[in-house]
A and B are shown apart, each in its own frame.
Chain A
Amino acid sequence: MPDPSVRLTTLPAAPGVGYKPQHFADIMRDPGGVAWFEIHAENYMGDGGRPIAQLRHLAERHPVSVHGIGLGIGGEGRLDPDHLTRLKHLCDWLTPASFSEHLAWSSHEGAYLNDLLPLPYTAATLACVADHIDETQEALGRPMLLENPSSYLVFDESTMSEPEFLGELARRTGCGLLLDVNNVFVSATNLGMSALAYLDAFPLARVGELHLGGHHEDADEHGAPLLIDSHDHAITEPVWTLLDETFARLGACPVLIERDDDIPPWPTLEAEAARAGRALARAVKRAAA
């Protein structure tokens, strides 16, 4: 059962940016208004060398969030004990302000597919994912945040909506949630749903962090929009609008700019972070008024 006295994250309610090694020197010189950084756990599981050395420097100066890509919380098999051990080792030496993973799977019988693959939302998958979250939180000795996926399709066998499913997971395991605003927009557009209705149904009280990223626009064979969560573009205007809607419902919250491909120079990401910071400040001001 959730223990309300345990904080889900100690990240500041301020903008952060996904850390990329090519920005290391810029960040050390002057991080501007960027208050924290997020790393992908699996990129820092080598034994040493420059990646680990730079991460140590970064973490000496800034709060760091560890975001796992490859644990496969949504996998139907058991979690990889070796990978859990590696995550624990990373969290133990880095003592990050937050740990998060995805509602997705990526490995099957020893093969890692390097993508966040979807699962149906049923009583059976709920029980299995809840067990995996329990196991992860126990192994790491800390609560985790679970991120909503971007969806391209739905499972006919699903019996619950995604916000319901995530809310029930949080209730059963005490985990927090990471709300990716871009993923809400991508999924709503792709599946012909309302993004605002999704937000209204989302268990916002459990949200410890927001993500914002760019997507790529395509169409399916029926001419319906098909947005791909590619993290290789600037954040689009509708997603900024949805961020305002999210802050209006949620209040202040750590918010991350994600860019994983076609990485622009540091000032471009810093400017996106500053914009997210202004959206956050507006929400705080409105709440105080």
Chain B
Amino acid sequence: MSAGQGIFRAAVLDPARPSPAGLSDGRGHAAGKRFDVYRNNVAVGLTEVLETGFPVIRKLIGEDRFSAVCGVFLRQSPPASPILSRYGDGFPAFLAGFEPLAHLRYLADVAALELAIRQSYHAADALPILPESLSAVPPERVDDLRLGLAPALRVVRSHWPIHDIWSYNTVENAPKPAPVAQDVLITRPEFDPAPQVLPPGGAGFIAALQQGATLGTAAEQAARDAPDFDLGEVLALLLAGNAIVSADLPGDGHA
């Protein structure tokens, strides 16, 4: 086929370009406004995808400004695949560098939280371990445990109160955000992702587990970062969120 589709694509994404030559309305006129149907379908369709994915960002900056921001983003970064539930991976970074919204410094991190919630929703299923299987481990061997975490688990770290900004805009009667840094843990107990604030050291502990550290090493690392790190509290959050899917001891396999 001719160079047609490249020209068509460029004109669809850029309303300032003329519509491609050689198109008509079937009645002897040039296609004119009819080409705009495609321009409109593409821009409106992708904006709706971003609205579905980032409802809190839309609420925070307002519908009109959100549409305008999406218009810039979708032309610069159209989807890389037809799986639109994944569209917007680059939106948090885009917002971080988007000059007109630079004064809303928390925005990119809130977008990262919304993206992580969506990723958690679509992540693979995995059977959690029973809490009893941890309590059955002999105390002297607990430090050697290697914990496998659920594919739906996500952690988003921020200098801003992103959990409270998110909940204030999605949950009725949620408290007003206070100016604190928040790390957010997302677990998916069944099908609905559940974001909650991680206690100090929690994010570092989970990151260490994800890199393959034993429970003991991960807890030590977390305690160095946050002296009041409470291992029991974080394990309880993970267990309640069905987020631990394996617990292995060296030598004798499963705990």
Contact = CB atoms under 8 A, between A and B. Distances in A.
Interface stretch (B27-35, B88-96, B160-168): B27-35
Given A42-B83, A48-B151, A49-B188, A221 B122 contact: no
A153 B24 contact: yes
B34 A153 contact: yes
Interface in A70-120: 70-71, 75-77, 80, 82-83, 86, 105-115, 117, 119-120
A3 interface: no
B27 A224 contact: yes
A65 interface: no
Given A51-B122, A83-B81, A226-B37, 20 more contacts: A45-B85, A48-B122, A48-B123, A48-B152, A76-B1, A83-B82, A112-B82, A113-B9, A113-B42, A114-B42, A115-B12, A115-B45, A117-B12, A117-B38, A152-B35, A152-B38, A153-B34, A155-B23, A222-B29, A222-B32
A110 B84 contact: no
Contact of B6 (A47, A108, A114): A108
Nearest to A83: B82
B173 to A, nearest CB: 26
B82 A107 contact: yes
A153 B31 contact: yes
Interface residues of B, number: 46
Interface of A: 42-43, 45-53, 69-71, 75-77, 80, 82-83, 86, 105-115, 117, 119-120, 124-125, 128, 152-157, 190-193, 220-222, 224, 226, 228
Nearest to B126: A48
Interface of B: 1-2, 4-6, 8-9, 12-13, 22-27, 29, 31-35, 37-38, 41-42, 45-46, 49, 78-85, 121-125, 151-152, 188, 191-192
A43 B83 CA distance: 7
B83 A45 contact: yes
Nearest to A41: B82
A221 B82 contact: no
A46 B191 CA distance: 13
Contacts of A107: 82
Given A152-B34, A221-B33, A114 B79 contact: yes
A226 B33 CA distance: 10
Given A110-B80, A112-B82, A113-B42, A154 B1 contact: no
A72 to B, nearest CB: 8
Nearest to A221: B33
A258 to B, nearest CB: 16
A156 B49 CA distance: 34
A113 B78 contact: yes
A112 B41 CA distance: 13
B25 A153 contact: yes
Most buried by A among B22, B31, B81: B81
Contacts of B26: 153-154, 190-193
Nearest to B193: A49
A124 B24 CA distance: 20
B154 to A, nearest CB: 13
A49 B27 contact: no
Nearest to B29: A222
B24 A114 contact: no
A193 B25 CA distance: 11
Contact of A105 (B5, B33, B42, B191): B5
5 contacts: A107-B82, A114-B46, A117-B12, A153-B25, A154-B25
A113 B11 CA distance: 12
B158 to A, nearest CB: 25
A114 B191 contact: no
Given A112-B82, A226-B37, A117 B8 contact: yes
Given A47-B122, A76-B4, A113 B12 contact: yes
